[in-house]
Structure 1
Amino acid sequence: MNALDHLWARGCDFLGTKTAIMGGAMSWVSERHLVSAISNAGGFGVIACGSMNPALLDAEISATKALTGKPFGVNLITMHPQLLELIEVCIRHEIGHVVLAGGVPSGAAVRAVRDSGAKLVCFAPALVLAKRLIKSGADALVIEGSEAGGHIGPVSLTVLAQEILPVIREVPVFVAGGIGRGEAILAFLEMGASGVQLGTRFAAATESIAHEKFKAAFVRANARDAVPSVQLDALFPVIPVRGLANEGTRNFLAHQAATLKRFQSGELTKEAAQLSIEHFWAGALRRAVIDGDVEQGSVMAGQSVGMVTAIQPVAAIIAELIGQAEAAHAARQAQVPRTDARSHAA
């Protein structure tokens, strides 16, 4: 057994996989092709249900099963109006792991997952919430730092890991946000993580259905290009989303400014103004991922995008990450501690 096998044994046992590498649930990207590729390569693919209705999720799960016999999970958004029906779809398909994201899950949702025998995975953006989720029935946690792509919280993974990993031992904890190399995976495992979750590197994989222009934007980008959306005025809250800066992000600022003026002049009510701001990005992720509009669309990406240097098969990405982690561990083991010659003097 090598170092990684030992360090992520708990995560592998929980997921039922060879490696404790989860795929991040990315809308329009984490579908049957990428999910099955991650699972077939020894990782744990996760379907991003997003706004799918039960019939669409049912079809996506069936299609994924046709491509892999390995374990995979389903990510459901807690605010989805048909959440309990979506959970029923997962139960009918005997999905072994259900991830509830986007908020604190209701008691009814937790009971529905646990009563089915499936494992419940929840996101914990703070230690106090991590403890609460475990008490409510979470079987594992994901802590995701602000380095991640898509909707983000305010705290970096380096801080969350220090706050949560030394304290939470009852359930496996997977870390996410900004992870792009094996050395980082090794470091977090040594801190106490049971595994990791990656999204950005997999989004640009060969098996990803994302448009070639979307993938090319990832390859060109640097870490500093992945920025959170900016809120212009506290009166109109904006949930931060990290993505590549483009014409769309600049237009969003202009749209907020224009909407604020319309509100101040009495042309719009506060509710109408907020709705106008929230609707600006409607369909923008699909335009970027599926249609390849990387200028006006929302090119969601984490800061690890700077480590995406080529479009690679999923299996190659996972092998590269493992190779880097194992090499880093071997290098540490090879280091011989210096001794003070004076301590050996007779």
Structure 2
Amino acid sequence: MSVLDHLWARGCAFLGTRTAIMGGAMSWVSERHLVSAISNAGGFGVIACGSMTPALLDAEIAATQALTDKPFGVNLITMHPQLDELIGVCVAHKVSHVVLAGGVPTASAVRAVKDGGARLIGFAPALVLAKRLIRIGADALVIEGSEAGGHIGPVSLAVLAQEILPTVREVPVFVAGGIGRGEAILAFLEMGASGAQLGTRFAAATESIAHPRFKQAFIRANARDAVPSVQLDAQFPVIPVRGLANDGTRRFLAHQAETLRRFQAGEFDREAAQLSIEHFWAGALRRAVIDGDVEQGSVMAGQSVGMVTAIQPVAVIIAELIAQAEAAHAARSGACVPDAASAAA
């Protein structure tokens, strides 16, 4: 048994996989092709339901099951108005794991997932929420740091890991946010994590349906290019989202300033001003991912984007991560293992 087999045994047993590497749920990206590729390569793919209707999710799960016989999960947003129906779709398809994200799920949602035979994974951006999720029935947790792409919390994974991993032992804990190399996975496993979740590395994978311009934007970018959305005025909150700085992010600042001016001039009431700000990015993620508009669209990416240097098949990415982790452990113990390049070849 290799050191990785030992360190992530709990995570692999929970997911039913050969490796405890989860794919992050990325809207428009984490669909049947990428999800099945991750699962077929020994990882754990996760469908991003996002704003899908029950009918669309039903079709997506069926299409994914046609491409893989390996376990995969479905990520549902707790605020979705049809959450109960979406859970029902997952249960009908016998999806093995359901991720409830975007807030603390209700008792009825937890009961529906677990009574339906699925394992429940929750997101814990703080220790107090981790403990609460375990109390209400979460079977595993993902702790995601602010280094991640997309919607983010305020605390880095480095801090969350120190707060949560030594304390939470009741359920497997998977780390996420800014992870791009196997050495980091190894370090978090040694701290007590059961596995890791990656999004940004997989978004630019060969099997990802993201537009070629979207993937090339990742290859060109550095870590410092992945920045959180800026809130101009405390009166009008902006949900923090990390993505690549572009013309769209600069226009968003100008839009906030103009909206604030119109509010102060009495042209907008507070509600209309807030809606104007919130609606600025409507459809922007799809424009970037599907249409390839990487200047005006929302190019969500984590700070690990600087480690995306090529478009690679999912299996190569996972092999590379494993080889890097094993090489790092071998370097400490004086052993000799193949390097990442030869292992991925």
TM-score (norm 2): 0.97
Equivalent residue number for residue 205 of structure 2: 205
Shift of residue 316 of structure 1?
Answer: 0.2
Q: Secondary structure at the match of 1:261?
A: helix
Equivalent residue number for residue 114 of structure 2: 114
Q: How does 1:283-298 map to 2 (within 5 A)?
A: 283-298=283-298
Cα distance per residue 1:157-191 (max 9 Å; x no partner): 00000000000000000000000000000000000
Find out whether 1:146 has 2:130 as its counterpart.
no
Paired positions, count: 335
Give the Cα separation in 1 of the matches to 2:300 and 2:126.
23
Shift of residue 6 of structure 1?
Answer: 0.1
Equivalent residue number for residue 74 of structure 1: 74
Amino acid at match of 1:243: G
Q: How does 1:98-137 map to 2 (within 5 A)?
A: 98-137=98-137
Amino acid at match of 1:18: R
Shift of residue 117 of structure 1?
Answer: 1.5
Equivalent residue number for residue 340 of structure 1: none
Q: Secondary structure at the match of 2:281?
A: coil
Deviates more, 1:326-335 or 1:47-56: 326-335
Equivalent residue number for residue 221 of structure 1: 221
Equivalent residue number for residue 322 of structure 1: 322
Cα distance per residue 1:195-251 (max 9 Å; x no partner): 000000000000000000000000000000000000000000000000000000000
Equivalent residue number for residue 272 of structure 2: 272
Equivalent residue number for residue 40 of structure 1: 40
Equivalent residue number for residue 26 of structure 1: 26
Structure number, greater radius of gyration: 1
Give the Cα separation in 2 of the matches to 1:278 and 1:195.
34
Give the Cα separation in 1 of the matches to 2:304 and 2:208.
17
Cα distance per residue 1:124-147 (max 9 Å; x no partner): 000011001000000000000000
Cα distance per residue 1:278-326 (max 9 Å; x no partner): 0000000000000000000000000000000000000000000000000
Equivalent residue number for residue 169 of structure 1: 169
Equivalent residue number for residue 343 of structure 2: none
Q: How does 1:292-307 map to 2 (within 5 A)?
A: 292-307=292-307
Shift of residue 329 of structure 1?
Answer: 0.4
TM-score (norm 1): 0.96
Cα distance per residue 1:43-99 (max 9 Å; x no partner): 000000000000000000000000000000000000000000000000000001000
Shift of residue 106 of structure 1?
Answer: 0.6
Q: Secondary structure at the match of 1:146?
A: coil
Amino acid at match of 1:330: A
Structure 2 gap segments, 5+ residues each = 336-345
Structure 1 gap segments, 5+ residues each = 336-346
Give the Cα separation in 2 of the matches to 1:103 and 1:264.
33
Give the Cα separation in 2 of the matches to 1:86 and 1:69.
21
Q: Secondary structure at the match of 2:280?
A: coil
Amino acid at match of 1:137: G
Shift of residue 116 of structure 1?
Answer: 1.1
Shift of residue 2 of structure 1?
Answer: 0.4
Give the Cα separation in 2 of the matches to 1:208 and 1:96.
23
